[in-house]
């Protein structure tokens, strides 16, 4: 069963068609890697799964993009969508707050209805799941922005999973990290797929081979520059 599915999905920036009839399925509790040359529309596709284009003038789509069978583009509650679909970016972007507050942030939003007294335990659990707890447990009040890049990225992962989404989208999550931090994130992803469905954009074929269950190869039409899927299948 797929948690995220695109069916004949076209995406346009005004008159430019960035995605041409994308049909892919990201199976539950698997890692799906989107790979392909720069400009083929990987980020566009990933961002559409989280409705990040809503405020981009001229952006529109056709076909369907489904989250657990539900059409993402007709969802009325963006907060609810983003609770179910977490996003991690290339450049770690912790909030200018303490480590604790970064993770507690989403849990404190009224819509979550999480009893206040449960928040510290939820923060700890998220930091443990993000393989960060041992490194930060004695400095939870320090700024999230004072850590190394790899730690910041794991903090962003902790922040995303604290609200227990179904899906984690990762847009080149290791591109700004050194090799050691990259390996740590890769191990973490493999660990996280027990609980989350993961879609990762990567430029790195070796990374896809190391982490992904399924690899989707995209490229673009040399004349129109529209991105399309060349092949999708089990990695290996």
Quick check: 61 binds ligand ADP (CB under 6 A)? no
Minimum Å distance from CB 133 to ligand ADP? Answer: 30
Q: Answer yes or no: are the C-beta atoms of 200 and 206 closer than 8 Å.
A: no
Considering only residues 7-26, where is the footprint of ligand ADP by CB under 6 A?
13, 18
Specify the residue, 36 or 150, whose C-beta has the smaller distance to ligand ADP. Answer: 36
Residue 187 φ/ψ, nearest 5 degrees: -60, -40
Q: Which of 24, 31, 40, 65 binds ligand ADP (CB under 6 A)?
A: 40
Specify the residue, 98 or 215, whose C-beta has the smaller distance to ligand ADP. Answer: 215
The strand ranges marked E within 14-106 are 16-27, 31-35, 59-67, 70-71, 85-88
Q: Which two tokens stand for residue 235?
A: 């990695």
Task: Give CA 60 to chain center in angstroms.
Answer: 21
Quick check: 51 binds ligand ADP (CB under 6 A)? no
3-state secondary structure of 52: coil
Stretch that binds ligand ADP, among 34-42, 103-111, 125-133, 207-215 (CB under 6 A): 34-42
Q: Which two tokens stand for residue 102?
A: 């970064």
Considering only residues 211-230, where is the footprint of ligand ADP by CB under 6 A?
225
Strand partners, 201: 34, 171
| Residue recorded with tokens 């990225």 | 153
Specify the residue, 90 or 195, whose C-beta has the smaller distance to ligand ADP. Answer: 90
Considering only residues 88-117, where is the footprint of ligand ADP by CB under 6 A?
90
CA–CA separation, 48 and 27 (whole Å) = 18
Q: Which of 30, 43, 202, 214 binds ligand ADP (CB under 6 A)?
A: 43
The four Cα atoms 103, 106, 108, 114 give a dihedral, to 10 degrees, of -100
Stretch that binds ligand ADP, among 37-45, 142-150, 153-161, 179-187 (CB under 6 A): 37-45
Minimum Å distance from CB 36 to ligand ADP? Answer: 6
CA–CA separation, 89 and 108 (whole Å) = 22
Residues engaged in binding ligand ADP (CB under 6 A): 13, 18, 36, 38-44, 56, 90, 225
């Amino acid at each position: 069963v797929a948690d995220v599915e695109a069916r004949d999905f076209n995406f346009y920036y005004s008159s430019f068609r960035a995605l041409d009839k994308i049909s892919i399925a990201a199976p539950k509790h698997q890692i799906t890697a989107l790979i392909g040359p720069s400009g083929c529309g990987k980020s566009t596709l990933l961002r559409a799964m989280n409705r990040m284009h809503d405020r981009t003038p001229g952006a529109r789509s056709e076909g369907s993009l489904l989250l657990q069978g539900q059409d993402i583009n007709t969802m009325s509650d963006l907060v609810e969508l983003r609770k179910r679909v977490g996003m991690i970016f290339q450049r770690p972007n912790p909030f200018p707050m303490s480590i604790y507050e970064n993770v507690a942030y989403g849990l404190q939003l009224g819509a979550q209805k999480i009893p206040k007294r449960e928040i510290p335990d939820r923060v700890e659990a998220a930091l443990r799941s993000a393989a960060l707890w041992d490194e930060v447990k004695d400095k939870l009040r320090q700024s999230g922005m004072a850590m190394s890049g790899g730690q910041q990225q794991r903090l962003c992962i902790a922040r995303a999973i604290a609200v227990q989404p179904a899906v984690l989208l990762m847009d080149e999550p290791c591109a700004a990290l050194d090799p050691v931090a990259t390996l740590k994130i890769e191990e973490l992803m493999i660990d996280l797929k027990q609980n989350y469905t993961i879609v990762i954009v990567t430029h790195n074929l070796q990374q896809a081979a190391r982490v992904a269950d399924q690899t989707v190869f995209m490229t673009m039409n040399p004349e129109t520059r529209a991105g399309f899927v060349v092949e999708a299948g089990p990695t290996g």
